[in-house]
Structure 1
Amino acid sequence: MRNGTLAPAVRRPRPHVTSWPASPRRVVPAAVLPTAPAPSRIKVLHVITRLQAGAGGNTLLCATGMDPGRYDVWIAGAPGGELWAAARDAGLHTVELPGLKHTLGPADALVLWHLVRLVRRERFTVVHTHSAKGGFLGRVAARVCRTPVVVHTFHGLSFHPYQSRTRRVLYRWLERSTRRLAHHYLAVAPRVAQEAVSERLAPPGRVRVVPSAVDLGHIPAQFDPPARRVLGVPRATALVGTVGRIDAQKAPLDFVRMAAALRADHPGTAFVMVGDGPLAAEVRRLAADLGVEVILTGHRPDASWLVSGLDIYVGTSLYEGLGRALTEALACARPAVATAVNGVPDLVEHGATGLLTAPADPEGAARAVGWLLDHPAAAAEMGRRGRARVRAAFGPHAMCAAVDACYRDLLGLPLPPPGR
């Protein structure tokens, strides 16, 4: 204040924030220039318990979809599984860790030692872990070796109400004990991210949703008659099916019970299960006891194509991060009924992209399937909406771009130019 009047405000210069400048265009064609040195690549190690099923397929798509000019990608996990050959064929470095199994045991000390040796020898810039067991061992090895960037993906919670109390306590401890050992977390669905924070498996504000991708290039966009002929069911017969490993998680016996309940009102319906697993013999016995015929195809490498031959897809899982087979079914516009577990309601919106039922409720699933059979126009519209949702947001390009953005952010690197 000067002489009783307010002094004019001092205008301070505002800080000037700019992005990293774009590279200038070459003044000479690259063909006539001397050879430039190859740029250094960022070494990334994915650690996963088992390279199979939904989490394994998601990890493989993530690894193969990254820019090979920028990233040198490795995968380490338990021996066995149908995806190791595909990983090697794609040019990835693969390390099968002897002694690594799904559950904790004394051999894991040796597995951790092998992992520490690998990370220390190869000097990875990024260690990206998956699943509870692989996530625990991978994050501990990364901390021991002082890896600059550690990322963990939640493909679904590793503990659930259908496990024994001992296993639930063990897996919750595994996840919580390493929650501070990752710099950032990814989740395959919003509800999976919410559950991870609510269960204190990840710090608040450190989880980014990256939808689990499927390879849309191998999935028809609609019903495919050749797939139906391979399944051996006439087109005039309603075909209800499921795809996946026949194990406790997928609750295949509930699918058989659903089929038996549905036959009471829809006796002409046929049923098929694409896949194999430890409960296949029990499925056959229960189907015989209930007097319902269920076609079991066994393991099929073309399962993502065969799903396009179904009239209705049914998922009876007791727990599921998102559901790879379910995503593939929606991608080819198949009307779907699925259990409302974990991230599934983020994909199947009741009455819009499919119908939801409670887990362990085969009668409820039968009623939902019967409703779709009785309302074919509404079922077809749900299939079309499901296809639009999946094909807009669940392609490998979108997933890999999001993972690349996460790595770049943690490493302080600029984003690529638009359109690249």
Structure 2
Amino acid sequence: MKKKIVHLQVLPILSGVQKITLNIFRNLDPDLYEMFLICAQSEDSDNPSLISEAEKLGVKVIVLKDLKREIGLHDLKVFFQLLKIFRKYDFDIIHTHSSKTGFLGRIVGKLSGCKAVIHTVHGIAFHDRENFLNRNFYLILEIFAGFFNDEVILVNKYYQSKFWFIPRKKIQTIYNGIDLEVLKRKRNRNDDLIKLIFVGRLDRPKALPDLIRAFEICVKERNNIAAYIVGDGEYYDYLKEYIARQELGGKVKLLGWRFDVADLLADCDIFVGSSIYEAFGLVYCEAGYTGLPVVATRVEGIPEVILHNETGLLVEPGNPEALAKAVLQIADNGELAEAMGKAARRRVEENFSLTEFIRQYKEIYELY
């Protein structure tokens, strides 16, 4: 008999967290597992959807219209909707992602009698940037939800100390992995223009005001530098207006959501990130494997992916001037850029392959 497994996601977009779910589904044997996905309704028909990609893999998708990222009374309705669904399908494994579905899904999962409730932590709501009251409120919720899971998977080692309330036998770190075959692109650089690139969701954690300011400094100080921002989200209009106001349109391009990220990375020279908090950063692995040195911030799990002075440079968050200085340090030294790019590729091959990532998750699933 097939094991029934369901993944819970909030946003049905195709950012890093959602790609993790798709990679797991893609590599499970359909003869052994009957796969389900529960998520919110897609609100953007112009961008690729987690729902459509999951359906292509034969995954049964259940959409909850009341499931939203924001906390509200609608969460109570979702609680009972999940309870009804879990009891109807009698899942063997419930695998939750993100704080919202992690809280509701774990509690309802155990109340429904599911034998295995697994939660992967892709980020924490009780991070150091949150104010005291909110931080401790979210921490209390996480402690409570911790009584309702069988396994907690962290995507970095940094979070180990943050989850002191979870018994050590129930918690482990599994680094995210990428499909190296998809990224096997030949570097296309054949001109003197140095291209900077950022790829990601344009939201608050990415600190886009810092990124665009750093890009502005770089393109104004060097005539041979251009920058590209790839992604969509709440800061899109802000970036568009900033580029126009500062007259950066000739050197800084806002590309929106793109399907050809692998090709764009292969056509660039340095990847730049400005996050104020980030658990892992799957795109740093994609950039590194493509051979790009990375300039990023020294927050949460990023130093476990990017090794300072080896595969890239790390600076403190909230300092666009320092970010720009680090970018220019690599841009002005071709030998350094090449050495870091080669080291980045080796590190991804040795530590962040999809094969190892899938092996570890399969081992957990096979326990139940």
- Asked if the contact 1:313/1:334 (under 8 Å) is kept, the reply is yes
- Asked if the contact 1:218/1:305 (under 8 Å) is kept, the reply is no
Name the stretch that deviates more: 173-182 or 328-337: 173-182
Unaligned 5+ runs, structure 1:
1-39, 226-233, 412-420
Letter in 2 for 1:249: P
Please state whether the residue corresponding to 1:297 is helix, strand or coil.
strand
Partner of 1:417: none
Superposition map of 1:371-390 within 5 A: 371-390=329-348
Partner of 2:162: 196
Is residue 8 of structure 2 the alignment partner of residue 42 of structure 1? no
1:224 aligned residue (171, 188, 192): 188
CA offsets 1:183-235 (integer angstroms, 9 cap, x no match) = 1111112223x24324x3x333422221112232221354235xxxxxxxx83
CA apart distance, 1:157: 1.6
Partner of 1:208: 172
Letter in 2 for 1:76: I
Is residue 354 of structure 2 the alignment partner of residue 396 of structure 1? yes
Superposition map of 1:101-180 within 5 A: 101-180=68-147
Distance 2:115 2:186 in 1: 45
- Asked if the contact 1:132/1:174 (under 8 Å) is kept, the reply is no
Please state whether the residue corresponding to 1:73 is helix, strand or coil.
strand
Distance 1:342 1:157 in 2: 10
- Asked if the contact 1:51/1:57 (under 8 Å) is kept, the reply is no
Name the stretch that deviates more: 257-266 or 103-112: 257-266
Superposition map of 1:52-91 within 5 A: 52=13, 53-80=15-42, 82-91=49-58
Distance 1:44 1:160 in 2: 30
CA offsets 1:263-313 (integer angstroms, 9 cap, x no match) = 354232111101122212211332344443410111112223322211100
Partner of 1:282: 238
- Asked if the contact 2:310/2:340 (under 8 Å) is kept, the reply is yes
Partner of 2:277: 319
- Asked if the contact 2:25/2:57 (under 8 Å) is kept, the reply is no
Please state whether the residue corresponding to 2:366 is helix, strand or coil.
helix
Is residue 327 of structure 2 the alignment partner of residue 363 of structure 1? no
TM-score normalised by L of structure 2: 0.92
Q: 1:376 to 1:395 in 2, by over 3 A?
A: same
Q: 1:100 to 1:375 in 2, by over 3 A?
A: same
- Asked if the contact 2:11/2:40 (under 8 Å) is kept, the reply is yes
TM-score normalised by L of structure 1: 0.81
CA apart distance, 1:347: 0.5
Letter in 1 for 2:72: G
Which is greater in Rg? 1
Distance 2:218 2:296 in 1: 15
Q: 1:408 to 1:273 in 2, by over 3 A?
A: same
Is residue 244 of structure 2 the alignment partner of residue 261 of structure 1? no
CA offsets 1:236-263 (integer angstroms, 9 cap, x no match) = 2111110112221111111111022223
Is residue 208 of structure 2 the alignment partner of residue 246 of structure 1? no
CA RMSD in angstroms comes to 1.9
Q: How many residues of Structure 1 are paired with residues of Structure 2 in the alignment? A: 360
Letter in 1 for 2:193: T
Partner of 1:14: none
Name the stretch that deviates more: 156-165 or 78-87: 156-165
Partner of 1:30: none
- Asked if the contact 2:185/2:263 (under 8 Å) is kept, the reply is no
CA offsets 1:294-336 (integer angstroms, 9 cap, x no match) = 1011111222332221110001111111112222111111111
CA apart distance, 1:113: 1.1
Letter in 1 for 2:74: A
Name the stretch that deviates more: 337-346 or 290-299: 290-299
Unaligned 5+ runs, structure 2:
none
CA offsets 1:21-74 (integer angstroms, 9 cap, x no match) = xxxxxxxxxxxxxxxxxxx11111111222331111112211221122222121
- Asked if the contact 1:222/1:334 (under 8 Å) is kept, the reply is no
Distance 1:366 1:89 in 2: 42
Q: 1:99 to 1:166 in 2, by over 3 A?
A: farther
Distance 1:145 1:83 in 2: 26
- Asked if the contact 1:155/1:187 (under 8 Å) is kept, the reply is yes
Percent identity, aligned pairs only?
29
- Asked if the contact 1:357/1:365 (under 8 Å) is kept, the reply is yes
Q: Which runs of 4+ in 1 moved over 6 A?
A: none
